[in-house]
Amino acid sequence: MGIHPSAVIDESAVIAKTASVGPYAVIGPGVTVGDGTVILSHAVIERDTSIGRNCKIHPFSSLGADPQDMKYQGESTRLEIGDRVIVRESATVHRGTAGGGGVTRIGDGCLIMATCHVAHDCQIAEEVILSSFAVLAGHVELGKGAVVSGSSAVHQFVKVGPYAFIGGMSGVVKDVPPFMIVAGVRDKMLVAPNLVGLKRRGFPPEALEVITGAHRLLRNHRPLEEVLREIEERYPASKEAERIVEFYRSSERGVYR
């Protein structure tokens, strides 16, 4: 524990007493670091970033840098990172923009593996996993427990539902429905229920049956609203069905089926 004498820390930064900062780490103005968080050597927390409790920031990661947005003109924006977040080597997470709400957020318990990029204004819920070389463009939203596999890219403004899984080397340009796996490039996507992942998360068999049944209906080529009404009629008491229907109806980019 403690702060290594070679670390460079701005006088306005607030570091919890039980946090530690390794050699040659750089912590800029307006940064706060919570209890039990470990910032390892050569990590850079540039500015206006809050990091919660019991996080671990690995070497050569860059947090809180200016957004890569041509419209950004130096406005005051933030990066907020929750508790128990792990950021691995050479990952980058940028602050928000005024036009996107001003805040990039990383929820509790997330794992951002080496060399990932999270762009401005992304909203990442708790327990999300980004595998190595995954890239999120600006304004992307990831639901609780979602997984983005290695070398996948997610287009700006895409929404990914809770407990969805994006397969490796995918190029995602539409919204990804809750509880489903998608894999492929742009409009050539395979979609299937994320049964293995959902079982690991403790979803009961009856919930898996609903999700599988809803997926079967969504696969056909009938009009979407007609299919959504049938899902509601078949599974009127299911929270999973309700989430799926609401996600499709609220989408602005279109959802993979």
Active site residues: 120-121, 138
Q: How far apart are CA 228 and CA 214, in angstroms?
A: 9
Task: Work out whether strand 141-142 and strand 123-124 pair parallel, antiparallel, or are unpaired.
Answer: parallel
CB-based contacts of 136, cutoff 8 Å, min separation 6: 116, 117, 118, 119, 122, 130, 142, 148, 154
By CB neighbour count within 10 A (0-12 exposed, 13-18 middle, 19+ buried), where does 70 fall?
exposed
Pairing of strands 49-51, 141-142: unpaired
Gyration radius of the chain over CA positions? 20
Bridge-partner residues for 38, per DSSP? 20, 56
